[in-house]
Amino acid sequence: MKVHIHTDVSALSHVPQDWHDVSWRRVERNVKGMQIRIAKATREGKWRKVKALQRMLTRTLSAKLLAVKRVTENQGKRTAGVDGELWESPETKWLAVSRMQQRGYRPLPLRRIYIPKANGKKRPLGIPTMRDRAMQALFLLALEPVSESTSDPNSYGFRSNRSTADAMSQLFVSLSKKTSAPWVLEADIAGCFDNINHGWLTENVPMDKSVLQKWLKSGLIYQSQFQETEAGTPQGGIISPTLANVTLNGLESGLTSYLGKKLGVTVTSKLKVNVVRYADDFVITGSSKEVLENEIKPWIENFLAVRGLRLSEEKTRIVHIDQGFDFLGWNFRKYQGKLLIKPSKKNVQTFYRKVKEIISTHKEIKQEELIDLLNPILRGWAQYHSPVVAKATYSRVENLIFKALWRWSKRRHSNKNIDWIKEKYFHTVGERNWMFAVPVVNEDGSKGLKDLYQLSGTEIKRHKKIKGAYNPFDPEWEMYGEQLQQERMLENMRHKKQFIRMYIDQGGLCAVCKCKMTKATGWHDHHIEYRVHGGSDALGNRVLLHPNCHAQVHSKSLKVVKPVPL
């Protein structure tokens, strides 16, 4: 399908003719260059220039291409909005770029769905249409440099290269010493996404006001009924997490400034106040219960009230570190003066219930299929807790899962004796006995075993925390960001030696577009000479590609060359 696309002021030297003709390396370079300029103007306080550059960026072809690429490659790409439209083919993606015009743009209502929460309640999500998602992704490209440049140092949710593990590591720094603050305000905002004041957002979010207002007032449809949206930013929109971050920016810096002005810098430093936030969850440390109760909590309540928010009375509390508290699935507590961070009881119970439900609801499937269902869940949970004190928890949960699998095995063969069941479903792998495993034939024709992921075999490794001042849109931080990203990518792939080798040889770049491969972009393992044509599985015949580039190679029958190791 040939569609004429107006290029506006795009810096693309070659205007692509279809989706697979796009040079993604050039597109990313163009967008990143503009974002760096926006971030620089933000740091210098030149807000008129920021606005002009944002306007320029959202009108470029490069930004529109990147926005469509994002919404067609993320996890929500198969979830339609109220119009039922999906962009699955290269032709529909290319056509979508031409439809991203701001003049006359009117977003459609959100599709309301509910997903279960860990506490048994349901979380409301608002699903925009594909076009509205792409428009949000487009304006997010212009908003993110501003948000990153004005964020608090210890805000870790929904930000580039930041994670829950970074927030946990910062809390360890704030609480682990003998002289650290002994009291903690464990805060929770009641319905943060649903209650942010629209007027405050429109006045304070540095982006196109008319477009933002249209999104906020687009309404939603639930059970065929239209409902107006009077407050909040919907969970489910691409730009919503950043809007929430912008709303809560200043929580840390504003509190520090307030205390410094009221009590003086010297007194404030003795209060040992540290703020660590992940999205709308945050904790604040203090030297005494009184300072948290009488000084800090009232200021927080006023800060939130201006934005239409309030603290949850049932979930907000002040505790002593010896009593401990839960945050992001971990329990933080001092035992005889030593801080230990462990998986929280609630997190462990939720995880085990999920695993047990999968086992109990799949009584008839093959053992190999059950292992395939369980392994990603077991591996993901274990790696999430790998930076903390989790060995004992791993062993305890592993024992519970073994008992559930033993019941699953016996139920399938009620007329067989125990020895027969053990021999069929449980094997010895190395020095490990009673491993839930199934015999398989490997790609090279040899026989092997596919076994259940071993929780207790997960390596405990301390997390290297990101520096608080890191800004992905500041050239001075470029080398630091690249090194950090590569280290974390390799850490994620530490059990896949061949992938690590290819990733290092390619310098972390896709072999086709030469752009970075990250956890967000994903990667595919491509055989240069196809296996159906006799190509081998040797490393010399394989390269790592972005999923989109992989599709491009096959659709256009492109020949990929093995990169020279860097």
| Res. 327: pLDDT tops 80 | yes
Whole-angstrom distance, CA of residue 516 vs CA of residue 500 = 15
pLDDT at residue 532, rounded to an integer? 52
The tokens 């550059």 sit on which residue? 53
By mean pLDDT, which of 26-40, 70-84, 540-554 is the weakest? 540-554
> How far is CA 508 from its chain centroid?
20
Residue 325's closest CA among 174, 219, 199, 116?
Answer: 174
DSSP state of 120: S
**Residue 539 DSSP symbol:** G
C-alpha dihedral over 100, 104, 105, 107, to 10 degrees? -150
Which pLDDT value is given to residue 1? 46
- Least Cα distance to 100 among 65, 51, 54, 150 occurs for 65
CA 19 – CA 145 distance, rounded (Å): 27
Strand 426-429 with 330-335, pairing: unpaired
Say which range, 13-22, 30-39, 352-361, 460-469, has the weakest mean pLDDT: 13-22
pLDDT at 236: 79
Q: Supply the mean pLDDT for the chain.
A: 90
Mean pLDDT score, 128-133: 95
The pLDDT confidence band at residue 157, using thresholds 50, 70 and 90, is very high
Q: Is it the case that residue 88 has pLDDT exceeding 60?
A: yes
User: What DSSP designation does 292 have?
Assistant: I
Distance CA 352, CA 374 (A): 11
Tens digit of each residue's pLDDT (9 = 90 or more) over 221-272: 988 899 888 888 877 789 999 999 999 999 999 999 999 999 999 999 999 9
Rounded to 5°, the CA angle 396-398-402 comes to: 120
Helix (H, G, I), strand (E, B) or coil at 544: strand
* Pairwise CA distance, residues 339 & 325, whole Å: 12
pLDDT higher than threshold 70 for residue 534: no
Better-predicted residue by pLDDT, 526 or 61: 61
CA nearest 102: which of 252, 215, 234? 215
- Dump pLDDT digits (tens) for 490-529: 776 655 677 888 888 898 899 999 888 887 788 888 888 8
The answer to whether 383 touches 458, Cβ cutoff 8 Å, is yes
For residue 178 the two structure tokens come to 């003998």
User: Is beta strand 220-222 parallel, antiparallel or unpaired with respect to 110-116?
Assistant: parallel
pLDDT digits (tens, 9 = 90+) for 185-195: 999 998 888 89
Nearest to 137 by CA among 242, 223, 229: 242
Stronger pLDDT, 497 or 546, i.e. the higher one:
546
Alpha helices in 190-296 (DSSP H): 192-195, 198-204, 209-216, 240-248, 251-263, 265-270, 289-291
Cα–Cα distance for residue pair 82/67, rounded to 1 Å: 20
Q: Which residue has the higher pLDDT, 330 or 512?
A: 330
- pLDDT value for 3: 53
**Nearest residue to 184 (alpha-carbon basis) of 290, 328, 330, 318:** 318
Q: How confident is the model at residue 10 (pLDDT cuts 50, 70, 90)?
A: very low
The structure tokens listed for 44 are 């210098």
Least confident of 83-92, 332-341, 511-520: 511-520
142 closest CA partner among 16, 12, 246, 248:
246
Task: Please give the Cα distance from 239 to 245 (Å, whole number).
Answer: 10
* Burial class, 170, CB count within 10 angstroms (exposed 0-12 / middle 13-18 / buried 19+): buried
Q: In terms of pLDDT, which residue wins out, 232 or 415?
A: 415
Least confident of 9-23, 204-218, 548-562: 9-23
Q: How confident is the model at residue 9 (pLDDT cuts 50, 70, 90)?
A: very low
Sheet with 338-343: strands ordered across: 325-327, 330-335, 338-343
Please give the Cα distance from 130 to 128 (Å, whole number).
7
| Per-residue pLDDT tens over the stretch 270-306 | 999 999 999 999 999 999 999 999 999 999 999 999 9
Residue 258 CA to residue 14 CA, distance in Å, equals: 52
Share of the chain above pLDDT 70, in %: 94
Mean local confidence (pLDDT), 367-383: 96
* Predicted pLDDT of residue 494: 52
- Tell me whether strands 317-320 and 122-127 are parallel, antiparallel or unpaired: unpaired
